[in-house]
Amino acid sequence: MRTEIARPIRLTDYKAPDFRVSDTKLVFDLHPTETKVTATLTLERIGAAEAPLVLLGERLKLLGVSLDGRALETSDYEVTPETLTIGDVPDRFTLDIAVQINPQDNKTLEGLYMSSGRYCTQCEAEGFRKIVYFPDRPDVLSKFTVTVRAPKAGFPYLLSNGNLIDAGEDGDAHYAIWEDPFFKPSYLFALVAGELDVLEDAFTTASGRKVDLKIYVDTGMRERAAYAMDALKRSMRWDEEVYGLEYDLDLFMIVAVRDFNFGAMENKGLNIFNASLLLADPDTVTDLDYERIESVIAHEYFHNWSGNRVTCRDWFQLCLKEGLTVFRDQGFSADMRGDAVQRIKDVKALRARQFPEDAGPLAHPVRPSSYLKIDNFYTATIYEKGAEIVGMLKTYVGPEVYRKALDHYFQTNDGTAATLEDFLKSFEAVTGEDFAPWLKWYVQAGTPHLSITPSYDAETQRLTLALAQVTHPTPAQANKHPVPIPVRLGLLSEDGAPLTFTIDGETVSDTLFVLREAEAELVLEDVAVAPVVSALRRFSAPVKLTLTELDAHKFARFRGDADPFNRWEAAQSLAKDLILSATGTAAAYAEALRATLADDTLDDAFKALIIGLPTEPDLAQILTPVDPAYIHARRSAFKAELSNALFDDIEALYERFEDERLEAQAPFSPDAKSAGRRALRNALLDLMMASHIDADDARREKLNWRAQYHYQLSHNMTDLMAGLNAVAQLHGEDYDGTLEHFYDMFKTEPLVLDKWFAAQAMCANPETLNRVRRLTQHPDFDARVPNRWRAVVQAFAANNPSVFHDVSGQGYDFIADQILLVDKFNPMTAARLVEVFGGFKRYAEPHASLMKAALERILATPDLSKNVSELAGKALA
């Protein structure tokens, strides 16, 4: 029985803590089912004289409490399922608490749990209270000293945060004592104990301090940590060079675990990673995995300053650390892999996940005003929109002033738990300007719609741009205010050449205008010819833009916008229009794409992106009501038409690369240039495959052997997966055989098997629905392992729209069943799938009713977790 009471936590109810915990000593006697944890807390009253001491704790067996060495009677305190309250306490005292917990039974993967026979922890956001009673809130910062004791056999490594200050033996057991000299909130606590392999290296900081680097992995996996180690050292250097931030301990550790709810966690000095975001070698991971590993390593490392040294006052400020850290890791990736390509990928991700969230019933501000379970707010809005806001601030003040503001932020808030207001104050401090208007981006939900209407007067050579913004109402926020929108824009002539203009007495070809009100007019002088307007360059603000323009202008930008982001954007915008208008033909589009592929000034990674058509979810965002079958049919038909129109070109290009690949003697390199070449070749393969629709036998046969060859002649996982996906796209006779072959090759590699499961779940063939059901009965399927469960269930619901939205409603039933199943033991992970039903009101019938019925069935289930009921309830509201 769950005893949880649904009571929302509100930002306006924030109260500073009544007690400070200057010192925290923890002792762990590790045992699979009866771990004993004792905490010795040094407390000091900083609030009201009468305030009782309220500690938070969940699922703990209390063994005893003593105050200043005196054991308390049960009448001295009160225990509820969520708290331990001691009414009468002095102003300064020491409290000893002993509890017992059961890590083996803990399948929530929060608090202390076991994964592959090892102990590990996950405390963000509110997991520490499952370890021991504590003021488990981010604004209570304490100095931690941790003793970890376990049997020597099976648990050779005993790790926690900070520096190892003592270790020893005690019969069959041994212990290690760790001290973290930095004050930190409990959510950054970590402990790992067990058998591990370690890859060691070192890094010398800019000021000459040597830091030992250790990455711990499953035994036998050490070589696969080499790429993560390299990415870590590059991250450390980058943060010194770009932000002037150095690492602050003598030791930095990362541990990879198999069972993890999220990607990775920035615990002070002891990051814990989902193994899928750490282990890499050419035979088991793809280029995309390398890219993600690089960025997540950077992300968690960067948290050491944006998150750990400066943490959050309360969880409403979550994006203070997450938005900023995502923005920082995006900057790192851009420097490693190219700005334009990185920007396009980041915007694609923003539009794929954050825009739908902001347009549906789960819309919430980047700083929410209330929540039931904070776990539910690790969302695309907080991460990705949060990062966009930092990016707009940087665009607005410029890179030098941005750096000064960030220096000011880290210096003035170091060692504290800060708010978004503190962040904006640093921009005010270095500019002398009022940044209050920017706070609206944090407190107002919904994606602003920006419209730009140009009118050109040839006589006066003047271009007048009428700009307007509007944000539609979102749940609980009916009235919206204008937000400052930085609009970077430039002009080109119809043949694609940059066009200069005069603004504020200066002649330029690019300018930045900030739209602060609902409407404004911008006048550009000395515009020699009727121009093509390239607005919102590099996606200078996270808005939905409607630019009044001719298709010819879009084609001009597709062929030659000086801003590569807008070049890609113009292509996407044309493709969306052509796909959704039932009469659109691909001929002109194919010509522009042909020219782009032949352009030697563009890099391969960019070309690979521009070959990729808007996804079905992209199209679903602009079609009302959403008809998934229509979108799928139209997109497939357009892609086939494009493929046919360009077939000889793409085949020739593909073959050229294929020869080059087969001749290449160079070993695999995951660097950006090599990855870009592979991405382009694989994009060409994918586009070729699209012509299977209505193909004659000769073409069909050709595609079959191309797909098979690609698969069989692969020398790395990137190409192998591309081959497998090509085979899946054809869905011919050899699909099952190829899957079997793949399985036999990798059945002992769990991370590769995840790809095998996911590839099947994402195959856009109606048969996939039955296949996915069968996969959940596969001996290698285990719903308790989040990576495996997500590989099948999430991949299906989020990345296979045409089958998930099958008119029968069976896809919805399947997903609802899975959410309910996993909610019984891992609410955090289960709840994150609810969003696939979020936009049901936008769907055509029968989808809307069937999705609604699935949500209603979820919500009507007894003993639902707070996590799932909060999201299902909101989705239905």
Candidates 264-272, 449-457, 595-603, 808-816: pick the segment binding ligand PHE (CB under 6 A).
264-272
> How far apart are CB 345 and ligand PHE at their closest, in Å?
18
Residue 124 is a catalytic residue: no
From the list 2-10, 257-265, 716-724, 844-852, the region that binds ligand PHE by CB under 6 A is 257-265
Q: Shortest Cβ contact with ligand PHE: which residue?
A: 262
Q: Of ligand PHE, Zn ion, none, which one sits near residue 124, judging by CB under 5 to 8 A according to partner kind?
A: ligand PHE
Residue 264 partner contact from ligand PHE, Zn ion, none using kind-dependent CB cut-offs of 5 to 8 Å: ligand PHE
Q: Does 322 bind ligand PHE (CB under 6 A)?
A: yes
Residue 262 contacts ligand PHE per CB under 6 A: yes
Give the 3-state secondary structure of residue 664.
Answer: coil
Least distance to Zn ion from the beta carbon of 345, Å?
18
As measured in angstroms, the least distance from the Cβ of 134 to ligand PHE is 17
Which string of x and - marks every residue 302-321 that binds ligand PHE (by CB under 6 A)? -x------------------
Task: Indicate the residue among 121 and 325 with the shorter CB distance to Zn ion.
Answer: 325
In terms of C-beta density within 10 A (0-12 exposed, 13-18 middle, 19 or more buried), how is residue 93 classed?
middle
Which of 300, 616, 651, 835 is flagged as catalytic? 300
For residue 801, what are its two tokens? 């729209």
E-state strands within 525-666: 532-535, 544-547
Q: Among all chains, which residue has been given the structure tokens 């920006």?
A: 450
261/738 with CB nearer ligand PHE: 261
Q: Which stretch binds ligand PHE (CB under 6 A): 7-15, 117-125, 402-410, 756-764?
A: 117-125
* Residue from 235, 217, 236 nearest 159 by CA: 217
Q: Name 474's bridge partners.
A: 477
Instruction: Cite the beta strand spans of 87-226 per DSSP E.
Output: 92-101, 111-115, 118-122, 143-151, 157-160, 163-170, 173-179, 191-194, 197-204, 210-217
Strand-pair partners of 193: 119, 158
Instruction: Report the residue number, 158 or 324, with the smaller CB distance to Zn ion.
Output: 324
372 vs 679, beta carbon nearer ligand PHE: 372
How far apart are alpha carbons 370 and 337 in whole angstroms? 38
Contact assessment for residue 363 and residue 336, using Cβ atoms and an 8 Å cutoff: no
Which CB, 282 or 323, lies closer to Zn ion?
323
By the 10 Å C-beta count (0-12 exposed, 13-18 middle, 19+ buried), 271 is classed as buried
Supply 157's token pair: 């490594």
Amino acid at 557: R
Pick between residue 322 and residue 604 the one whose CB is nearest to Zn ion. Answer: 322
- Contact between residue 346 and residue 452 where contact means Cβ atoms under 8 Å apart: no
- Residue found under tokens 């000086």: 562
Region binding ligand PHE by CB under 6 A among candidate stretches 40-48, 118-126, 178-186, 766-774: 118-126
Residue 378: which of ligand PHE, Zn ion, none does it interact with, CB under 5 to 8 A by kind?
ligand PHE
Instruction: Give yes or no for residue 378 binding ligand PHE (CB under 6 A).
Output: yes
Radius of gyration over every alpha carbon of the chain, rounded to an integer in angstroms: 28
Interface pick for ligand PHE out of 26, 254, 264, 795 (rule CB under 6 A): 264
196 binds, among ligand PHE, Zn ion, none (CB under 5 to 8 A by kind): none
Handedness of CA 639, 640, 643, 645 (dihedral sign): negative
Residue number with CB closer to ligand PHE (123 or 393): 123
State the nearest-atom distance from the C-beta of 420 to ligand PHE, in Å: 17
265 binds, among Zn ion, ligand PHE, none (CB under 5 to 8 A by kind): ligand PHE
569 binds, among Zn ion, ligand PHE, none (CB under 5 to 8 A by kind): none
Q: What angle do CA 101, 105, 106 make, to 5 degrees?
A: 75
In SS3 terms, 142-172 reads as: EEEEEEEEEECCCCCEEEECCEEEEEEEECC
Sole binder of ligand PHE in the list 106, 115, 122, 381 (CB under 6 A): 122
Please report how many Cα atoms fall inside a 13 Å half-sphere around the Cα of residue 641, on the Cβ side: 19
Smallest gap from residue 150 Cβ to Zn ion (A)? 29
- Does residue number 266 form part of the binding site for ligand PHE (CB under 6 A)? yes
* Rounded least distance, CB 264 to ligand PHE, Å: 6
Task: Quote the CA–CA distance of 643 and 512 in Å, as a whole number.
Answer: 39
Strands 270-274 and 251-257: parallel
Q: Shortest Cβ distance from residue 262 to ligand PHE (Å)? A: 4
Residue 828 CB, nearest approach to ligand PHE (Å): 8
- Identify which of residues 297 and 532 has a Cβ nearer to Zn ion in the complex: 297
- Region class of 307: left (phi > 0), else alpha (psi between -120 and 50), else beta: left
In the bound state with ligand PHE, the residue whose beta carbon lies nearer, of 122 and 621, is 122
Whether residue 734 contacts residue 708, with contact meaning beta carbons closer than 8 Å, is answered with: yes
C-beta closer to ligand PHE: residue 122 or 794: 122
Amino acid at 710: H
Q: How far apart are CA 549 and CA 571, in angstroms?
A: 14
Q: Which partner in ligand PHE, Zn ion, none is near 262 (CB below 5 to 8 A by kind)?
A: ligand PHE
d(CA 525, CA 507): 9
- 160: β partners: 191
Q: Rule CB under 6 A: is residue 579 a binding residue for ligand PHE?
A: no
Partner that binds at residue 798, options ligand PHE, Zn ion, none, CB closer than 5 to 8 Å by kind: none
Given a contact cutoff of 8 angstroms between Cβ atoms, the answer to whether 492 and 561 are in contact is yes
- DSSP string computed for 332-363: HHHHHH-HHHHHHHHHHHIIIIIHHHHHSTT-
Among 139, 300, 329, 835, binds ligand PHE (CB under 6 A): 300
When the beta carbons of 302 and 742 are compared against Zn ion, the nearer one is 302
CB of 346 to ligand PHE, least distance (A): 16
Q: Residue with structure tokens 């694989």?
A: 682
Q: How many residues bind ligand PHE (CB under 6 A)?
A: 13
Asked if 611 touches ligand PHE (CB under 6 A), the answer is no
Q: Is residue 618 involved in binding ligand PHE (CB under 6 A)?
A: no
Q: Does 124 bind ligand PHE (CB under 6 A)?
A: yes
| Least Å from the CB of residue 643 to ligand PHE | 39
C-alpha 157/C-alpha 196 separation (Å) is 7
Q: Which is nearer to ligand PHE, 58 or 322 (CB)?
A: 322
289 counts as binding ligand PHE under rule CB under 6 A: no
Kindly state the DSSP code that residue 535 receives in the 8-state scheme.
Answer: E
Please classify residue 146 by burial: count the beta carbons closer than 10 Å to its beta carbon, then call 0-12 exposed, 13-18 middle and 19+ buried.
buried
Q: Give alpha helix (H) positions in 398-435.
A: 399-413, 420-431
Burial class (CB in 10 A: 0-12, 13-18, 19+), 839: buried
Choice from 265, 397, 430, 721 touching ligand PHE (CB under 6 A): 265
* Strands 173-179, 143-151: pairing kind: antiparallel
Contacts with Zn ion by CB under 5 A lie at: 322, 325
Nearer CB in complex with Zn ion: 176/326: 326
Given ligand PHE, Zn ion, none, residue 781, with its beta carbon under 5 to 8 Å by kind, binds: none
> CB under 6 A: which stretch of 72-80, 90-98, 262-270, 481-489 binds ligand PHE?
262-270
Nearest Cα to Cα of residue 755 among 783, 795, 784: 795
Which of ligand PHE, Zn ion, none binds 291 (CB below 5-8 Å, type-dependent)? Answer: none
Q: Print the binding letters for residues 406-445 with ligand PHE: x by CB under 6 A, - otherwise.
A: ----------------------------------------
Closest approach of Cβ 408 to Zn ion, in Å? 22
- Tokens encoding 55: 């500690």
* Catalytically active residues, by annotation: 300
- Positions in the binding site for ligand PHE (CB under 6 A): 122, 124-125, 261-262, 264-266, 299-300, 303, 322, 378
